[in-house]
Chain A
Amino acid sequence: MLVYTLKRLFLALLVAMTVSAITFSLTYLAGDPAISMAGETASDADIEYIEKLYGFDRPIVVQYFEWALNAFRGDFGESYYFRIPVADLLLERLPVSMTLGVSAISFAILLSIPLGVLAAMRPNSLLDRLALGISVVGQAMPSFWFALVLIVMFAVWYPIFPTTGSETWVHFVLPTIVLGYYATPAIMRLTRTGMLEVLGSDYIRTARAKGLPQHVILFKHALRNAVIPVVSLAAVQFGFMLGGSIVIESIFALHGAGYLAWESIGRNDLPVVQAVVLVFSLFYIVLTFLSDLLNAWLDPRIRVG
């Protein structure tokens, strides 16, 4: 297990470094950062001034290694746009994204696992079709459209929920539903398939033959086994949500890290883009790493393979 863990750890670090190098290079391909920073109406003098001020005239390799060393120490530099340390910006914006991500994945799990279990209990029943219908709609519907529908319904027609801001938990209700619903189909389908498979297995038949109550069979024996791959999937979905919340944060004016990254790309605020992509990648890498370990712990065959 130790060898396997070390191997995965090494691989994760390699991925993190590659991601950081690619991000750093790619951000420079989107045009001269000095022009973006100076704004649409800047004169040549403004642009040259900024080029010198931020050292854009130096070789990109030199700029990368300087950035990577500092990032390793937790110093992501200063935002070109806000002129404050990127680390401070991230500390301010990450909690919003994390709150949204955690609440959305919780919502998704609370909705999709019971739905998946219920659907698997009676395959091809009305309930099963309903669950699959919810799943298909969730997969087909663009999240920005769903967000706007909710805004029109619950903010314009029946003003129950606020549509912007992140001051209280109520502000997170609509964004959570939109983002959480996005993850529902995959988790629900996997739960349903897993449950169907487990419910048809010999040990469940034995349990039934022993006359165990239905809820004990379902939740104690079947679900515990069926949910194993779901845990890995949920971890990956959570990673997706952190990165994929850009649109949702933008629509609901949540000012989280996802939206910060999106805006920073537009204004070529390179230190922010680089830091957010790196931090999100690290989250993702850690989650994948943990789910790999979990799988290996649950199924010893993986460790050998």
Chain B
Amino acid sequence: MKKFLAASALASLALVSAIPAALAGKADDTLNIVWERELENVDSYFNTAREGIIVTRLTWDGLLYRDPKTMDYVPLIAKSFKWVDDTTLEFELREGLTFHNGEELDADDVVFTYNWVANPDSGVKTQRNVNWIKEAKKLDKYKVQVMLKEPFPAALEFVSGSVPIYPQDYYSKVGPDGMGQKPVGSGPYKITEVEPGKKIVWEKFDGYMKDGPKGAPTIGKIVQRTIPERNTQIAELLSGRADWMWRVPADQADRLKSSGKVQIINEETFRIGYITMDAAGITGDTPLKNPLVRKAISYAIDRNAIVEALVRGKSQVVNSACFPSQFGCESDVTKYPYDPAKAKALLAEAGYPDGFAIDFYAYRNRDYAEAMLNFLSEVGIKANFSYLKYAALRDKIRSKEVPMAFMTWGSYSINDVSAITSHFFTHGKDDLALDPKVKELLQKGDTTVDSAVRKQAYSEALKLIAEQAYWLPLWSYNTNYAFSNDVDFTPTSDEIPRFFTASWK
């Protein structure tokens, strides 16, 4: 028996000593972050995930930076900038900046990056981010002009985020594969280790600009690990092996908060939900062609109730076809408060006193969709519900097979209505309204740099969309961030966690 006990004790000791030390947080100045998605490539031009945007903002800088509080564009790599005309932007660069490998950052790097991404042969994955660029040219060592293909006022959004500047010498040598394995940027943190799809390690970049709008980083090391299962992430957070996670569902966030072991902050996001309706009769002769029917549907759904019971957090009901903070988002539009009696009256007026049946699709938040189905059935509309994968549903919409669907749109975190309203109402493949007046107004807004003209055009378009009930805008989404009590972290509505502003308490 004694022998057995001794053997057991030895075995336990061996077991415990083989366990890797828990990843400490504040104690060894390492912020351990976890998220669920595998990033396909660290090179920011070759990934499309939101997590890729987080990596980009930590590792690279663009010419400009959008202040997450004021939403103003402020110079970053650039010292100053101006519109020379509707299609030319001019930037004067800061002097003395370097990349993480010591390479100096000057006009050559900016011109190289812009001209490289502007060439479709470069294979940049998100073409939308770069296909507005015609070319860039060097005026002197610290002065650059970027020419646009056509007037595109939202260009500043991309300059301030999606077009990070790459080191010419290094990138010419290693290309996207090399950049994916050993990334080199000029941002506040430098990447020291990449395990594709599993782990990224950053260290504070000591050579980073001291007076930039991103501020000076304070946390020494950041380690990101990919953990696909949310419950496992929570276990890691509660056991102290992780310091930060996000996208915690509301019920789990409540429980985590009550544990007292972590902080929970909820923040609204740019993503909004909407119901798209086939007003143009693209899918056939449906009742949705009648504006009275679309208005009836809009009155029939109690969006407030769904927000309060299901969406929760900082989410709010949205009435216009855009996120309220976006430039040009007109909120003074026709509103459709919950009024089932009015909905029934409108249906009767439209010739459907007993309601009708319609195909209704969704790809996410099945519970929200089912709540809407109940509201619709109360006014007599029988929705034949299909729940599909996103790709399958968007494919169906593009193939003109979807009369009505519950969809969402995140505007790629761009604070401009051209990233949402113009996408859906300028007769593209996702436009089920095909209203020529709306298209004309939006295109006017999209192609001038005069703010007043833009605002006026967008306002008229959005009023028309709401008045005709082409869309039923539903609500904004929100995210719960859960993180260690030792961490000081402030989320922003553009859903881009900025770890370079985080610090230890």
Interface residues of A (CB under 8 A from B): 30-33, 35-36, 38-46, 49, 53, 79, 81-84, 148, 151-152, 155-156, 159-165, 167-170, 250-253, 255, 259, 263, 268
Name the residue of chain B whose CB is nearest to the CB of A249. B228
Which among B20, B197, B235, B412 is the interface contact of A41 at CB below 8 angstroms? B412
B20 in contact with A163 (CB, 8 Å): no
A151 in contact with B232 (CB, 8 Å): yes
Q: Of B124-132, B333-341, B348-356, B435-443, which stretch is located at the interface?
A: B124-132
Once the chains are docked, how many angstroms separate the CA of A3 from the CA of B197? Answer: 47
A253 in contact with B412 (CB, 8 Å): no
Q: Of B184-192, B390-398, B450-458, B483-491, which stretch is located at the interface?
A: B390-398
A151 in contact with B235 (CB, 8 Å): yes
- The secondary structure that dominates the A interface is loop
Q: Which 9 pairs show the lowest CB-CB distances between chains A and B? A: A31-B391, A31-B392, A39-B48, A36-B391, A253-B227, A32-B395, A35-B391, A81-B40, A251-B229
List the A side residues contacting B197 at CB < 8 Å: 82, 255
B236 in contact with A163 (CB, 8 Å): yes
Produce 1/0 per residue, B401-414, CB < 8 A to A. Answer: 00000000111100
B16 in contact with A45 (CB, 8 Å): no
List the B side residues contacting A165 at CB < 8 Å: 20, 225
Interface: B171 (CB within 8 A): no
Produce 1/0 per residue, B25-48, CB < 8 A to A. Answer: 000000000000010110000101
A/B interface sample: 24 pairs, CB < 8 A: A31-B388, A31-B389, A31-B391, A31-B394, A31-B395, A35-B390, A35-B391, A41-B409, A42-B128, A43-B127, A45-B131, A83-B180, A151-B232, A156-B238, A167-B20, A168-B18, A170-B15, A170-B19, A253-B225, A253-B226, A253-B227, A253-B228, A255-B197, A255-B226
Given the contacts A40-B410, A43-B127, A43-B128, A164 and B236 also touching, CB distance less than 8 Å: yes
Give A85 Cβ to nearest chain B Cβ, in Å.
11
Interface: B239 (CB within 8 A): yes
Once the chains are docked, how many angstroms separate the CA of A262 from the CA of B413? Answer: 28
Interface: B13 (CB within 8 A): no
Once the chains are docked, how many angstroms separate the CA of A151 from the CA of B133? Answer: 50
A83 in contact with B41 (CB, 8 Å): yes
Interface: B120 (CB within 8 A): yes
Give B155 Cβ to nearest chain A Cβ, in Å.
15
List the B side residues contacting A38 at CB < 8 Å: 48, 125
Once the chains are docked, how many angstroms separate the CA of A105 from the CA of B323? Answer: 53
List the A side residues contacting B16 at CB < 8 Å: 160
Give A87 Cβ to nearest chain B Cβ, in Å.
15
A42 in contact with B48 (CB, 8 Å): yes
Produce 1/0 per residue, B219-257, CB < 8 A to A. Answer: 000000111110110011011010000000000000000
Once the chains are docked, how many angstroms separate the CA of A74 from the CA of B354? Answer: 62
Give B150 Cβ to nearest chain A Cβ, in Å.
14
